[in-house]
Amino acid sequence: MYSNRDFNRWRRHPWHGLHIKADEAAEDIYQVYIEMTPDDVVKYELDKSSGFLMVDRPQRTTSSPPALYGFLPRTYCAEEVAKLCPDVDVADGDPLDICVFSERHITRADIVLKARVVGGIQMIDGDEADDKIIAVLEGDNIWGNVHDIADLPNIKTERLQHYFSTYKLVPGKEVNIKVDHVYGRDEALRVIAAAEKDYWNHYGHLHEQARAAEAE
């Protein structure tokens, strides 16, 4: 428990205030902020300015995410992420998305959890790189021993591919989305490292300003 002395009165911004890894965490264990659960039929998304989880839009289709869905704190998809996707020149300009499988049914979003990265999907949405990292809940009773995408049943990645290729579909409207390339743990870690580099290139000044203010 927190004492009155060390209690943080202000909630940290999920994107900028949380660390991507806990101290002394293993190489493939990351902190994740969850925006949506498989039960959600409304699209929730973090408001980047306020740090509040907001209603983005009601889902027009019957699709729901087949896993917990959120992002990795202090990541950003820009130039370095785009370099890893051979068919595009730019990335989507958002934190790096991540899907987390859990045996137990987690029904609440706006939470933080620890997950082991096992792979990812190289998604191209409207000529922009929009990778989806795949992970399993740390310590999960069923998926806790999974360390690479090859350890997951194929149906798990197939459902993710189907969801991301169809969730924006609207009758009479074309959607330019590709989700063909599924990759393993090592490539996923490279994508995360690129997204971390993009974050510090674009938002590192915020942390420098905060440190300078604390030193005054």
pLDDT digits (tens, 9 = 90+) for 145-180: 999 999 999 999 999 999 999 888 777 777 889 998
Which residues are bridge partners to 71 per DSSP? Answer: 33, 97
Cα separation values, 160 from 69, 111, 167, 215, Å: 11, 21, 10, 46
Q: What is the CA radius of gyration of the chain?
A: 17
- Quote the tokens at residue 71: 């992002």
pLDDT of residue 214: 76
Q: Which residue has the higher pLDDT, 73 or 22?
A: 73
Determine the residue type at 145.
N
Domains in the chain, please, with CATH? 29-215 (3.90.80.10)
Tell me how far apart the alpha carbons of residues 167 and 131 are, in angstroms, rounded to a whole number.
Answer: 15
pLDDT tens digits for range 171-180 = 777 788 999 8
pLDDT of residue 3: 45
| Closest by Cα among 39, 26, 29 to 66 | 39
Tell me how far apart the alpha carbons of residues 12 and 174 are, in angstroms, rounded to a whole number.
Answer: 39
- Quote the tokens at residue 4: 């009155």
Cα separation values, 50 from 15, 25, 93, 210, 213, Å: 10, 28, 17, 17, 20
- Say yes or no to pLDDT of 53 above 50: yes
pLDDT tens digits for range 78-94 = 999 999 999 899 999 99
pLDDT of residue 7: 57
Poorest-pLDDT segment among 13-22, 57-66, 135-144: 57-66
pLDDT of residue 55: 95
